[in-house]
Structure 1
Amino acid sequence: MKKIITLCFTLTTTLMLAQNTQHSKVIDSLLQKSIKENNIPAMAAAVINGDNVFYGTAGTISNKSSEAVTNKTLFHIGSNTKAFTSFLAFQQIEKGNLSLETPFFSLFPELKNDKNSAYHSITLKDLLSHNAQVQPFTAGTEFLSLKITAKTTESKRVEFAQQVLAQPTVEKGTYSNAGYVLAAMMIEKSAKKSYENLLADFMKQQNWDYSFGFPNKKSLNHAWGHWVENNELTALPSTHSYKLEDFMLSAGDLSMNIVDYSSWLQLHLKGYNSEIGILKSENFKKMHFEVDNYSYGWGNAVQGTQKLSFHDGTTGTFYTHAILIPENKLGITIFANAADEKHMEAIYEMQQQLISQLKKITNGNNSKP
């Protein structure tokens, strides 16, 4: 009997490996076609079906390189970093150090004054759901009026907050990078540890590769971002002056590879369905769906009977798209190292093709599209 069980296990494993390879080849092929048609130097993608993840990659680290990307190549995920900020907040909530209703100024009373009275009641919940009415800081021109003189990143965040909170309010629901900087301040104040160290600790616990900032600054063998310059798609070298301010990390400056980022998405799918104990299931559900349209680090919608959560991230040189159906433990994510309008259209075309492939996987149909 033991030999039969061993043989069955071997056959099952071999079949699964064959299916994984076949699905990954299909994804590779879809990506290869897309980068050629749309002048994208590289793409990576993954389809998640419960415990199974099927990866694909295509292209080179830059349009001036012959080095192929792999599933270990880091790409910049931009605003998809916000989901990590939300996660770190919920870690502190479960430790009893924070709550969604914690007022910002209860942790930073020294910043409270008559000039920012419009913001006196904002809470962590408001900041994470883009309802704190703080200015967006999604365009580079918004930073020109700032005067940041502090030396440490934590002190820069405080200086940034002082200036942001002196500006006029915007409509509730306005997407705000600044709000996520203020949320990071609350997280690190409650944890008595810097946001950067909290995030680094979590990444290392998961044994995930990552970098803060553009990935080719960590290694020239990772993906280079591209933008259009003089009507040509241009790769930005690691020495290029374009970068996000270090105090903006919590809003969108993390880089990951497709394997580890997919594991992050799986963590959410499993946590939502009470399969892991890293956070309570109820908190994963709050993160994705407690607030309509945009909850805490995740956008959401209902399509038919299915609840979807999603997020896109870009700094204009990379693009990341992720979409989850948590109740079904399904997901798709796509990376690209270019983010012009044509490239974004290609990414959404790829989304539809990967959804078709996901349907074949869930239906047990292993044929190519």
Structure 2
Amino acid sequence: MKILAPKRLAAIAAAALLCTPATYAADKVDQRQLERAVNEAIAPMMKAHNVPGMAIAVTAGGRQYFFNYGVTAKRGGKPVTDSTLFEIGSVSKTFTATLAGYAQARGAMSLSDPAGKYLPALAGSALGTTSLLDLGTYAAGGLPLQFPETVNNTQAMTDYFKAWRPTYAAGTHRRYSNPSIGLFGYLAARSLGEPFDDLMEKTLFPAFGLKRTYVRVPKALMADYAMGYTKDDKPTRVTPGVLDSEAYGVKTTSADMIRFVEASMSPAGLDDKLQRAIATTRTGYFKVGGMVQGLGWEVYAYPTPVSAILAGSSPQMVFEANKVDRLEPPQAPGADVLVNKTGSTNGFGAYVVFVPAKRIGLVMLGNKNMPVPARVEAAYHILTVLDGELAANR
């Protein structure tokens, strides 16, 4: 373990930057108790699901704690460290959302803009008049979880979006969708006039001080890139696909990801545009069940029982369309909330969660797609050690 010391929407988000929590629960951490809690949560999960390696990072009271388990690969693998690269799947969407917030802060686009403004080929189509906000919050009208197999290049993607017909009125239902937020990120990059991958690797990641976070892992670092494993324990890594970078393509380390979590909790000190971008991602746009949908992030009142978080990441929420209650005005990002996001690829599983008011957060990265409930339960167990108030609401 290593310890290291749209204009209206923009106005709401910017105002929230002035709000800071008054007290913290985790200023004093019993390191032995924390280590015991992490071991209690992670070791059984790895054994139950045959996970070769995991990296856990915790931030509490301004300090970072790293816990590493297992190996990067079953054959010839190295011990996992906080510098091991993992695929983070849909946690990538939080970076995509941040890029869009940054584009809005720069005046390149507005979340209220129609998609057709940045992709004229969509003119006359249902998606052409759909707002970027509805795309970014999976509320465009029922876009599916994945593209059909026939959509395998940019032209096929454009043709698919032009021909697509909504099942619901935009803004009324949430249907979790990689094509939806993928198009959102693609259009945000077009508004800035640069390729998405370049904007991530040359602008956004460096702006947060992330030194080992990539969409395209450099050849020189492939030895640090963990091998993922399928449910039947076959080695695998994510394969290229249309809008893969925007929806699920980021690879990062626990050290970089916990740095991003800290910035997302407390962006003071960052460039003003980045601060506004973070506030935009943590703004609540609609409610579905007990969860409030931000951009990329999913938000709950704090403290909240683990059952509420499990419901918010249930198969019903992932695979079905759910009617939403639009928040008017949008809910400014608060401190007394629990913010989280799960992510998976065929061979990897990730979970990120933080509570700004308590200055606590956790990153969980593994080279197998562990069941989401197991990740959430494990993380919740660790957080209860950091904040007794959460333990009382379990």
1:322-345 deviation digits (Å, cap 9, x = unpaired): 11212333212211111144xx44
Shift of 1:280: 6.2
1:4 aligns to what?
none
1:197-227 deviation digits (Å, cap 9, x = unpaired): 1001122342420232689995144211111
Aligned alpha-carbon RMSD (Å): 3.1
Q: Does 1:200 align with 2:231?
A: no
Partner of 1:63, secondary structure, is: coil
C-alpha separation between the residues in 1 aligned to 2:216 and 2:374?
25
2:214 aligns to what?
211
Q: Considering only CA atoms, is the larger Rg found in Structure 1 or Structure 2?
A: 1
| Equivalent position amino acid for 1:132 in 2 | A
Q: Is contact 2:201-2:214 (8 Å) kept? A: no
C-alpha separation between the residues in 2 aligned to 1:173 and 1:165?
20
Shift of 1:348: 2.6
Distance 1:20 1:162, change over 3 A: farther
Stretches of structure 1 that go unaligned for 5 or more consecutive residues are 1-12, 149-155, 363-369
C-alpha separation between the residues in 1 aligned to 2:285 and 2:346?
28
2:234 aligns to what?
234
C-alpha separation between the residues in 2 aligned to 1:282 and 1:207?
19
**What is the aligned length?**
322
Distance 1:84 1:278, change over 3 A: farther
Q: Is contact 1:28-1:58 (8 Å) kept? A: no
Distance 1:349 1:184, change over 3 A: closer
Bigger drift between 329-338 and 78-87 goes to 329-338
C-alpha separation between the residues in 1 aligned to 2:252 and 2:381?
23
C-alpha separation between the residues in 2 aligned to 1:189 and 1:111?
14
**Greater helix fraction, Structure 1 or Structure 2:** 1
Distance 1:123 1:133, change over 3 A: same
Q: Is contact 1:134-1:178 (8 Å) kept? A: no
Shift of 1:311: 0.7
TM-score (norm 1): 0.77
1:359 aligns to what?
387
C-alpha separation between the residues in 2 aligned to 1:33 and 1:354?
13
Partner of 2:129, secondary structure, is: coil
Q: Is contact 1:227-1:340 (8 Å) kept? A: no
1:325 aligns to what?
355
2:53 aligns to what?
42
2:163 aligns to what?
166
User: Where does structure 1 differ by over 4 angstroms across 4 or more consecutive aligned residues?
Assistant: 18-25, 213-218, 280-283
Identity, in percent, stands at 18
1:223 aligns with one of 195, 212, 226 = 226
Shift of 1:77: 0.5
Distance 1:192 1:160, change over 3 A: same
| Equivalent position amino acid for 1:267 in 2 | A
1:119 aligns to what?
127
Partner of 2:148, secondary structure, is: helix
| Equivalent position amino acid for 2:143 in 1 | Q
1:70 aligns with one of 51, 65, 81 = 81
Q: Does 1:284 align with 2:286?
A: no
Structural mapping, 1:291-330, within 5 Å: 291-292=285-286, 293-304=292-303, 306-330=336-360
| Equivalent position amino acid for 2:235 in 1 | A
Q: Is contact 1:27-1:57 (8 Å) kept? A: no
Q: Does 1:88 align with 2:103?
A: no
2:178 aligns to what?
177
Q: Is contact 1:35-1:59 (8 Å) kept? A: no
1:254-309 deviation digits (Å, cap 9, x = unpaired): 110000011011110112xx454354655533322321321211111224584222
Distance 1:340 1:170, change over 3 A: farther
C-alpha separation between the residues in 1 aligned to 2:199 and 2:276?
22
Stretches of structure 2 that go unaligned for 5 or more consecutive residues are 6-27, 287-291, 305-335
C-alpha separation between the residues in 1 aligned to 2:278 and 2:343?
20
